[in-house]
Chain A
Amino acid sequence: DAGITQSPRHKVTETGTPVTLRCHQTENHRYMYWYRQDPGHGLRLIHYSYGVKDTDKGEVSDGYSVSRSKTEDFLLTLESATSSQTSVYFCAISKTSGGSDTGELFFGEGSRLTVL
């Protein structure tokens, strides 16, 4: 358990509305990630962060933005939600050893988003 909590766990929204998902961790891990999980696609990386205010794009970043103003929180924002963004979103951290990323991911329990 890496002390990761996601909120909200479930959300239904309408097309065109903004949505923010929050990932909170309690162990001060440097690396944080947002993935989406869809049937037939496995997990795909949306954005990741390697420190406060340091973020970068992943494989499927279009339509998403992120922010990390403090170590413990990593926010994922859908500026204008679309039906194609209906998915389960997972936050994850990777632990470090000697300052280096170990490559082992620890996941939150997911946030299920439905865009009508």
Chain B
Amino acid sequence: AAGVIQSPRHLIKEKRETATLKCYPIPRHDTVYWYQQGPGQDPQFLISFYEKMQSDKGSIPDRFSAQQFSDYHSELNMSSLELGDSALYFCASSLRGDPYEQYFGPGTRLTVT
């Protein structure tokens, strides 16, 4: 079965650079969530979209922005990167905002040096 696809899987950036993470949800899934997981920490919700509209927002820095496109894929844009942004970034998708079962992608490991 098709799963959530995230690209790139690994990304190394320097401080103050920008990064773009991409997420391709499971086919027919219309809701996308972004989570950040720092080293040794639990996943933290960043932002979510349903039908291309932002549906919820968590502790996402103002330096970050995201959007969902007409084909339902989503991109997380991160600017002025800081060392503390180094983390695993997971994208999850669900169908029509199913609150219980979100399907997570493999994650993008971002390292800021």
Partners in one complex: no
